Structures are given as C-alpha cells and as structure tokens.
Amino acid sequence: MKLETYNDTGDLTNPSIEFGENRILFYAARDLIVQPSEIMKVPTDVTIKVPEGFILQLSTHPSLIALASELFPSTIIIGPEDGEYEVIIPVKNNGRNPLTIRSHAAISAGRVLATITTSIEYNSFEPKKVQAVAPASSFPQKRNKDVKFEIK
C-alpha cells in the first residue's frame, strides 16, 4: 500500500505529518486560538491521496482530549473518492477557557484501514414470536420472630 502525501510548508525540519508503525499524526501548521464552544478549521498544510481499497480514519489526538477539545465531527473518513484531499481538521473547544493550539501541536491521529472488497448480501428475516410467560408470584417477606432488639 502506498499513501501519497504533499507537505505544503516547505520546511522539512518542522513537518505537519508524522508516520508511525500503525498511525499517522497530523500537526497544526500555525498557532491558533479557539474560543469556548467555537469550532475552528485547523490547517495542517498537508495534502493526502488514499489508494483504492483503503480509507484513512482521523480521530482526536489524546493531547486535545486532555484539553477538553475534540474533532468535529468526532471521526473523519478520507477515501480514494476524495482524490487529493487537503487535510484541514475542524476542532471544537468544549472547555470554558480559550484553547491555544501551537504550531506543530498534534491535533489528529489517523489509521489506514483496508476496505471490504467482497460484495455483501442483504436478506430479511421474520423474528420468532416469543411466548409471554406469566411473572412468578411473589410472597411478602416473613417476619423474623426469633430476632429481638433491646434498647439500653
């Protein structure tokens, strides 16, 4: 599988994307301040192209969750049909204070997933009718005649 990317920053010492073994991290390209309850599109200056048979699933990076923030929507799916996709990540500030996102702060973690290549057959079915069972009758609790309490 070959995932093609283009980093628009031109600064190779401070890239906006990092590839790990099972993940891809996306970083903010510049400093931003997100006000409480505000949703702001955070640029990464990265363009990505996902090959056929795969999708890229982006979710909130744990460092943003710790700051009471999240991606909005919570999961972003990028597929081959999106072509060359410029990765701009909407971030929502759920906190009470302004959120400062620094340049090169991790904002999203991505995973590349394989898509199903076989067709799925859909069928309907008739559920079995469940016989109603009468509830078991209950009896009141018996009094404890053997227990005596003394007040001193």
DSSP class per residue in 68-114: TEEESSSEEEE-GGG-EEEEEEEEEE-SSS-EEE-TT-EEEEEEEEE
Q: Is residue 21 part of a domain?
A: yes
CATH of the domain at 14: 2.70.40.10
In tens, the pLDDT along 17-70 reads 888 777 889 999 999 999 999 999 999 988 889 888 889 999 888 888 888 777
R_g over Cα of the chain: 27
Place of tokens 């599109």: 41
In a domain, 127, yes or no: no
Range of the domain at 25: 4-114
Q: Over the stretch 135-148, which tens digit does the pLDDT of each residue have?
A: 777 777 777 777 77
Number of domains in the chain: 1
